[in-house]
Amino acid sequence: MTEATQRVTDIGPPHHEKMMPPVIQKNYGKWVSHEILKPGVMVHEAESGDKLYTVRAGSPRLVSIWKLRKFADLADKYCGGHLRFTSRHNAEFLLTDPAGIDPLIADLKAIGHPVGGIGAAITSIVHTQGWVHCHSAATDASGIVKAVMDAIDPYFTGTKKIPGKLRIALACCLNMCGAVHCSDIAILGIHRRPPRTDVGAVGKLCEIPNVVASCPTAAIRPAQKDGASTVEVIEEQCMYCANCYTVCPAMPLNDPVNDGVSIWVGGKVSNARSEPTFSKLAVPYIPNNPPRWPEVVDCVVKLVELWAANARPYERMGEWINRITWPKFFRMAELPFSKEHIDDFKHAGLTFKRSAQLVH
Amino acid sequence: MAELPKTPLLDELEKGPWPSFVTEIKEAAKHKASSRDLLGLLERSYRERLGHWKHGGIVGVLGYGGGVIGRYTDLPQDFPAISHFHTMRINQPPGWFYTSKALRQICDIWEEHGSGLTNMHGSTGDIILLGTTTPELEPTFQALCAVGFDLGGSGSDMRTPSSCVGPARCEWACYDTLGLAHDLTITFQDELHRPMFPYKFKFKCSGCPNDCVAAVARADMSIIGTWRDDIKVDHAKVKEYADKGLDIERTVIRNCPGKCMEWDGATLAIDNSACRKCMHCINVMPKALRPGDDRGATILIGSKAPIVEGALLSSVLIPFWKPEPPYEDLKDLVRTIWDLWAEEGKNRERVGEFIQRVGLGNFLSAIGLDPEAEMVAHPRENPYIFYAVGDKE
Ligand code: SF4
Ligand code: SF4
Ligand code: SF4
Ligand code: SF4
């Protein structure tokens, strides 16, 4: 083994300057304006007059190194050996010569990657690991995302037009790796049964005070079983968040029959027009139906189409709903409104309707 | 190489126009036994509607406490090649820029040491190398360091900071988002690699209020670019938009949250003293309007996902900050907050939850900041006030 002193550590990431193409190094901070030329293609112009063309390609996020090498080949062929990725998993190719745009798009198409997702479009779905790689997943991530993107691909490639931006995100449990809680449409995996506590194992595997403290609704109490310390769950107080399971492997919640997804709408992070806001519950539960979750796909498509048909230019899902009011949204979307839709956690009272301004 | 497992359910996900993650796993499965077992395991999950991963034990590389997520399948007899299948988080270059050479170096290392599968990128921003065994962790790390890459964060540490594309390609960047993210990352290497906080702490740097990296929703400290002076207007270009058919009254004026714009059909007037810096008008007419020249950032604090005490958006801490390298004022503030939170925060309590528990007013006193009206949506409505008077006569 190498001596600890000889190891290189704590070097941090490479500096971005080493990774950026010369046209960006030269014009860093000196861009003046941009224009969307066609779906998935835009041009930025710098003070110097230099132009930078961006071609955005959709990606499934889970990519093999054999695909990444193909991306690298395209970066060599068209972009002087540079590329970048976006915060929503898209790959972006940066060209200085517009003549490369169409051949690049054709090459991307040939390896199965559509171009689009810029401006008034639906871009790739931010998502998480699901059954591919996570222990607490109440549903798969990549599978639902693939099925939904297949259905709304025309909104990515721009063959179908929409009034503004629409951001979809998916998380496979309430841990929400990813900003699903502030998305126009959020698909969220949920458990619906309390943990099945392995009473004998809790004391051995886990710190009891941590397990008790992990529960947001104080549903977990210390207990004794056969002289050993363990915990018990007051099931009526449990809302299946799986936080105890994150802290203690002896409290699994995964359940093939009762797990599934919920759908939330109307959140956003940008400050444009209205302030950032959380998504709100639209559909409390849809059962898991792999491999293609048709009920989830139908629901998302219906919501997208409803919004697209009724929103004003630039109006995001939540802005549209705020204008028409939530009751009207539920009627238009033909979604039942149920007890689950009414908040009962902290500050729930602030979400009650406290006026007589209603649309009848 | 052995044959690929039969995957009738997953095969359904190779149909349709969107690129398929199943195709990616199958490609890797041609080369790697671990990816072949992953394919089989995933098919089983699809059949049983149940995940087959166990909690991570603590694994990592020498001297680091973060950057590796331990992962084990609960079916090691059936899928031995993924009995360990740990994730490595690699700190991305700011703005997610790569040379094809750097990208290939990562690919070569991961072909040699891991499953050949990645996420480009994970939710926090890191390159995710998906799946390897415990003995491969250290050699992978050494190989990555040799080509200039390092691990990102995990657990109760500073997580890998991330930034929007900012000044590298966006005319709206009000500060150097990549520069700040890189500087914070390098300054706080110890906090990134050696978990010692009550829970995770994320930085996200967005160059303008469009907030492309969702800083307001996903970062314990959200640094969002803005400006203080007047929006720059090119009146001729505004006219051009109008002439080309843009309905300025309907799309721009009526959507302005400050109600501070007027359009008489020929000239655009903005009362900048009432502008809320929302970006809408600039987004609609990028060739005609630009953020002003007195640029900086608003610093907000405390956003998080629901676990444990409910989801939070970040709220204003510093209404306007002038970012100037080496950003010592910000780093001092961050250290003060970390010291307080490390001292008084509870286990697994994010800084936003900590502030909710102790109260924003008390938090400000403890870190030595004065309250400002910008920090609240409105002043309190209830009269249960803890007056700060000293002993009375
Ligand atoms: S959202 Fe939950 S289940 Fe999904 S990857 Fe994150 S922690 Fe795992
Ligand atoms: S699942 Fe959540 S609510 Fe239920 S016992 Fe565990 S921590 Fe408490
Ligand atoms: S956050 Fe603003 S500056 Fe950054 S990339 Fe988005 S629009 Fe540009
Ligand atoms: S930035 Fe927003 S608030 Fe300011 S003038 Fe433009 S639309 Fe109005």
How does residue A7 score in pLDDT terms, banded at 50, 70 and 90? confident
H helix or E strand, kind and range, residue B73: strand B72-73
Query: Do B228 and B296 meet the contact criterion of CB atoms below 8 Å apart?
Result: yes
- Nearest-CA distance from A70 to chain B in Å? 10
Residue A311 pLDDT? 97
pTM of the model: 0.96
Residue % of chain A over a pLDDT of 90: 92
- Tell whether the model's pLDDT for residue A251 goes beyond 70: yes
B341, with CB counted inside 10 A (0-12, 13-18, 19+), is: buried
For residue A116, how far is the Cα from the chain centroid?
18
- Nearest residue (by CA) to ligand 1, atom 3, is A137
- Tell whether the model's pLDDT for residue B389 goes beyond 90: no
Reported in sequence order, the residue ranges of chain A that DSSP labels E, i.e. its strands, are: 31-38, 41-46, 51-57, 62-64, 82-85, 91-95, 168-171, 185-190, 220-225, 228-233, 260-265, 280-287
**Best probe residue, ligand 2, of A190, A238, A251 (max atoms within 8 Å of C-beta):** A238
Residue A71 in contact with partner chain B when CB distance is under 8 A: yes
For residue B59, how far is the Cα from the chain centroid?
24
- Tell whether the model's pLDDT for residue A2 goes beyond 60: no
Tell me the average pLDDT across A7-21.
Answer: 95
Tell me the average pLDDT across B61-68.
Answer: 94
**Best probe residue, ligand 2, of A174, A196, A215, A245 (max atoms within 8 Å of C-beta):** A215
- Tell whether the model's pLDDT for residue B138 goes beyond 90: yes
Encoded tokens for B25:
């796993």
Query: Would you tell me how many other CB atoms lie within 10 Å of the CB of residue B379?
Result: 6
Tell me the average pLDDT across B340-360.
Answer: 96
CA atoms within 13 A on the CB side of B310: 12
* ipTM greater than cut 0.90: yes
Residue A339 in contact with partner chain B when CB distance is under 8 A: no
- Nearest-CA distance from A73 to chain B in Å? 7
- Range with lowest mean pLDDT among A58-62, A211-215, B98-102: A211-215
> What is the C-alpha to C-alpha distance for residues B269 and A320, in angstroms, rounded to an integer?
27
Encoded tokens for A65:
């190194």
- Tell whether the model's pLDDT for residue A37 goes beyond 80: yes
Residue % of chain B over a pLDDT of 90: 94
Residue B1 pLDDT? 60
Residue A1 pLDDT? 45
**B121: preceding bond cis by omega (within 30 degrees):** yes
Chain B residues whose CB is inside 8 A of the A322 CB are none
- Tell whether the model's pLDDT for residue B237 goes beyond 60: yes
Of B42, B103, B217, nearest to A276 by CB-CB distance is B217
Q: Do A276 and B313 touch (CB under 8 A)?
A: yes
Encoded tokens for A298:
């139908």
Any idea which ligand is nearest the CA of B166?
3
Residue A137 in contact with partner chain B when CB distance is under 8 A: yes
Residue B55 pLDDT? 79
**What average pLDDT does the structure give for chain B?**
96
- Nearest-CA distance from A336 to chain B in Å? 25
- Range with lowest mean pLDDT among A138-142, A242-246, B54-58, B384-388: B54-58
Identity of the residue numbered B109:
I
pLDDT digits (tens, 9 = 90+) for A150-180: 999 999 999 999 999 999 999 999 988 876 8
> What is the C-alpha to C-alpha distance for residues B80 and A16, in angstroms, rounded to an integer?
39
pLDDT digits (tens, 9 = 90+) for B299-346: 999 999 988 888 999 999 999 999 999 999 999 999 999 999 999 999
What are chain A's domains? 10-110 (3.30.70.3340), 126-191+257-341 (3.30.413.10), 199-247 (3.30.70.20)
Tell me the average pLDDT across A70-76.
Answer: 98
**What average pLDDT does the structure give for chain A?**
95
Chain A residues whose CB is inside 8 A of the B46 CB are 131, 140, 143, 290-291
B51, B195, B253, B314 from A206: Cα distances, Å: 22, 20, 58, 32
Residue B305 in contact with partner chain A when CB distance is under 8 A: yes
CA dihedral sign of residues B188, B190, B195, B196: negative
What CA dihedral angle connects B238, B243, B245 and B248, to 10 degrees? 30
Tell me the average pLDDT across A112-127.
Answer: 96
Q: Which residue of A has its CA nearest to B167?
A: A29
Residue B290 pLDDT? 97
